[in-house]
Structure 1
Amino acid sequence: MHTSDAPPVAVAAEGVSHRYGATTALRECSFSVPAGAVVALLGRNGAGKSTLMRAIVGLLRPESGRVDVFGQPISAEVLPRVGYVAQQAPLYPMLTVAQTLRLGARLNPRWDDAYARRLVDAGALRPTAKVGSLAVGQRARLALAMALGKRPDLLVLDEPLASLDPVARTELLGALMAAVAERGTTVLISTHVVADVQDVCDHVVVLGDGRVRLTAAVEPALAEHRIAVGATSDLGALDGLEVVERRRDGREFTALVRTAAPGPDGVSWHRPTLEELLLGYLRAETPQPTREVSAA
């Protein structure tokens, strides 16, 4: 129930489903993104992340369900508040860096030219360089500068770090988080690599097979799960518990369990790291019988 104390919502998806021919990309996806949050959208390749992001920014109309941005369907009124960087950071290769920034100024009513140029200068991008001649990391920085130059209230990033080397990834994340700290921008960033986002996100949405497997604030989610480790002869300790994912390795098992308190004695219980939590949900999305067969 909505109350006056409830935080404002930047994105609300309800029952979103979509197909490409006979392939179902999204299945009844529902979740919300609090305003000001940094949300990691995680899933394996083909999980439906890009389709969901295209629906959020208005590039795709889902077959069923709805997506609201700042309380209303995506429209020409809302779009100026939304920044979007698609996979591969698409830009016009024949334009120079300076021409690209001028294009951003013409197309966006909220454009902050000085801010966009600071982001470009910090990446040592020559204004006269053609976009097509830039290295992958430089193009990604320019694409992020174009999105942030809009001064968006919501920034949607689809696999922005996938093709970058470790140094470029760190630099790009640093520029992104500086913008978030400065303006309180809501960020939704998709990836299939947990390490990319585990130090910056405060909310997570996990997609698997087109479905939302987990949607939660990070700290409550960690508090509501435990990792159980024990001998396979003690698997009965998991009876009656909500087991998210279970693996066997010889005579031992490891399980991610949805519970706020340690279970029965005889099994080791500990609070999961964010990586353990997210990998558990990612691995659980597809049945893997070999993980349930003892090698002993």
Structure 2
Amino acid sequence: MTTVIASATDAPRSWKARILGAPSAGPFLVLIAFCVIFAFTNPRFLATHNLSIILQQTVIIGVLAIGQTLVILTAGIDLAVGAICVLGTIVAGKLVNLGYDPVLSMSFAILICTISGLAAGGLVSGLRLPPFIVTLGILGILTAALRLISEGGAFAVRDPFLSWTGNTMKLSGFVITYGVVIMFALYAVVWYFLNETKWGRHVYAIGNNPEAARLVGIPVRRHLMSVYVLAGLIYGIGAWLALGRIPNADPNAMQTANLDSITAVVIGGTSLFGGRGGLIGTLIGALIVGVLRNGLTLAGIDPLWQDLVTGILVIIAVALDQMSRRRR
């Protein structure tokens, strides 16, 4: 009888421990805390219109952070996120403005972004170069290429298909864009591959210890290549969402996309050392950044102070992750 009572009382504890021990539990509590604080300080924060704006502003970084999460899970980092996305907007915009079919133009732009990911993955997996150096080099190459292709200036992209992701629809009075729907769909699909397939388990194994993964028969190089290719594909889709958000192709756009995507991933609980974290945390991290910037803007805080607060959150998140790894 005593044993039965003990096991009955232990079950709720293990259930709670699993929830609180999840990597996304901490970021979720932070998100709730920020929402409560901003709701008390400004009644407009919880207005339906404002919540819709937060989601719309989160779309681009939220999607780019998916690819960044995949790379960081393998203990890498991608500094060319923003440049690859901008490349997609400029290629698609140029082709459409020249009279080419918009569907084919956007498809070709996504293909170019995927090839950029393929190039990064080939250098990282084939030549075993550090991801930081590889993506930094690609960033420099694309920065120059973007200005050459666009002839140094921004240009408008007026095409219904390319801007379709920015169209809105109503769900019980809540207005969202098709871009928001696509973002959530991407999170669901990539989450499934990461958590329910052998490929996803191998990605985590490579992030934890690539040499151990190789010794147990996991094709490390091939999986690293697939991660960067998939990330490039996602950046290309992000370019389509960016054109829906702002129908303008600008070689100087998304200057902070690299930092913002890394911020969303790190705040979301994914370890910069690889092998730990997930997409649910990344989505929460992207929402934290969106809520924080929106709440501070409503409070009249200068954008420079917003960047300062965001940077502090990143340092705190990395410090907590480091302390957690040391305890383990």
TM-score bracket relative to the smaller structure: under 0.3
Q: Which protein is richer in strand relative to its size?
A: 1
Greater relative contact order (CA < 8 Å, ≥ 6 in sequence): 2
So what's the TM-score if we normalise by structure 1?
A: 0.24
Q: Which protein is richer in helix relative to its size?
A: 2
So what's the TM-score if we normalise by structure 2?
A: 0.22
